[in-house]
Structure 1
Amino acid sequence: MTHTNSVSSFTPYLAVFDLDETLIAADSASLWSAYLVEQGIAPASLLATEQAMMADYSQGNMDMNVYMTATLAPLVGMHMDEVANLVDDFITSHIQPAIYEDAIARIQWHKQRGDTVLVISATGEHLVTPIARLLGADDALAINVQLDNGIITGNTTHTLCYQHGKVIRMKAWLEDNPKMFKGSYGYSDSINDLPLLEAVDRPFAVNPDPTLALHAQLNEWTIMDWRHDNNILR
């Protein structure tokens, strides 16, 4: 995938990163559901529901519309500003301790080269955008949350940033971005991101699930093992 809208004296690469289990040693959406239960905003039953749907995700069979409806339900009627305040606290308490040091190093490696770093995640934008900013990404694509005068409706908008939808959203982003890229890198842990990894020039499987690991081996993709000692799940 090479994008050629304009020409400059220096041509960077585009570095595309999945978020959950790739840049962080956890799933941000699952942690967020647990956080909402801790705060008394969501019922405890959400955890069992979310866990069952995440089992489908690991097999590449999740219905993302159903998932988003269930996980956005506790936020319906809340103003996005109120949610943003909760997200700030959530990032400090749950996300920062889960960040892979190797992920930060890889992002910095790209930035030092002059590359553009784009996070693409199948998680709601209310979580992904501030997390991507914390990680030093230049931009982020995520599942768009519908607002009515700043109030969360519980619905989503646009193409869901999930499986092949990530490729659709990335291509639309490239069309809107005036920069030319020499080529593209892609990083993910999940078989759900196979379409995305096949759409970039240089795919990397990061701590891949078994199905993606097999695909990476058969196609001679680089497999990266990212670990750290401060994983909050330990």
Structure 2
Amino acid sequence: MALAIFDLDETLVAGDSASLFCRYLVDHGFAGDDFLAGDAAFSEQYSAGSLDMCDYIRFQLQPLMHLDKQQIDALMPVFVNEYLSPRVYADARELLSACRAQGKRLVIISATAAFIVRAVAKELEVEDVLAIELQETIDSETSKVTYSGEVAGIPSFREGKIIRLKAWLEEQGESMDGAYFYSDSMNDLPLLELVEHPVATNPDKSLSELATSRGWQLIRWPAPAFAASV
């Protein structure tokens, strides 16, 4: 079965899901306004290609360390409904639907914490998700599961996306034959170069120029009406 692989942020969603979650945490009293300044600094590192993803995950989870996994999951429906769903590109929903109709297997691969990506993927009706998994600890008395703040395994970031994807392919008995990969970012260049059909989707300036020079498919979608509100 041919794969249709999608980055999430700025590709399917007009925004960064991790930063939007930080905004949610501030708006709902889990963190102070200075938390957004910290997130912005990490975002600049991401754009510059110098981000240490493990450092970012530790930062993002700080306001949630007093919550167990079940409590965090309970936050996600409101977050997705209010912060993410209005920012999903209408064209993205149409493309996902078209790929399903063509019999392609849909996969979202993202450099965002898995609990966020899985919640968004559920909204988009995508079952297969590769995202940054988090180390878990189990309380011996209460059996509650909490996140330690550390990344578990290889983060699905830059070349890590390829490592995670290849492991998933072997596990699932799938192949890259005829695969498409949709992404907006130069951070995903290793995977864009790997697939048979790279598609620069709402690309940043650098990726747009590279896609044009290499003759890759390039698509841009009008922003959702609510995208500018956060």
TM-score range, shorter chain: over 0.9
Q: Which moved more, 1:158-167 or 1:223-232?
A: 223-232
If the length of structure 2 is used for normalisation, what is the TM-score? 0.93
8 Å Cα contact 1:191/1:212 also seen in 2: yes
Candidates 138, 141, 153, aligned match of 2:127: 138
AA in 2 matched with 1:41: F
Q: Deviations over 1:174-200 (max 9, x none)?
A: 010024564200000011111111111
- Paired position in structure 1 for 2:141: none
8 Å Cα contact 2:176/2:195 also seen in 1: no
- Paired position in structure 2 for 1:79: 68
- Distance in 2 separating the partners of 1:230 and 1:101: 10
- Paired position in structure 2 for 1:152: 147
8 Å Cα contact 1:77/1:153 also seen in 2: no
- Distance in 2 separating the partners of 1:160 and 1:179: 21
Calculate the aligned-residue CA RMSD, in Å: 1.3
2:68 equivalent to 1:68: no
Q: Which moved more, 1:38-47 or 1:194-203?
A: 38-47
Q: Deviations over 1:95-137 (max 9, x none)?
A: 1100001111111111001110000000000100121121121
SS in structure 1 opposite 2:182? Answer: strand
Candidates 158, 162, 166, aligned match of 1:167: 162
AA in 1 matched with 2:186: I
- Paired position in structure 1 for 2:108: 119
2:84 equivalent to 1:89: no
Q: How does 1:1-234 map to 2 (within 5 A)?
A: 12-149=1-138, 150-179=145-174, 182-234=177-229
8 Å Cα contact 2:109/2:161 also seen in 1: yes
8 Å Cα contact 2:3/2:107 also seen in 1: yes
1:62 Cα deviation (Å)?
1.2
8 Å Cα contact 2:89/2:224 also seen in 1: no
- Distance in 2 separating the partners of 1:213 and 1:99: 21
Greater relative contact order structure (CA < 8 Å, 6+ sep): 1
Gap runs ≥5 in structure 2: 139-144
Percent identity reads 38
Gap runs ≥5 in structure 1: 1-11
Q: Deviations over 1:147-201 (max 9, x none)?
A: 1121121111010110010111000100100245642000000111111111111
SS in structure 2 opposite 1:51? Answer: helix
SS in structure 1 opposite 2:110? Answer: strand
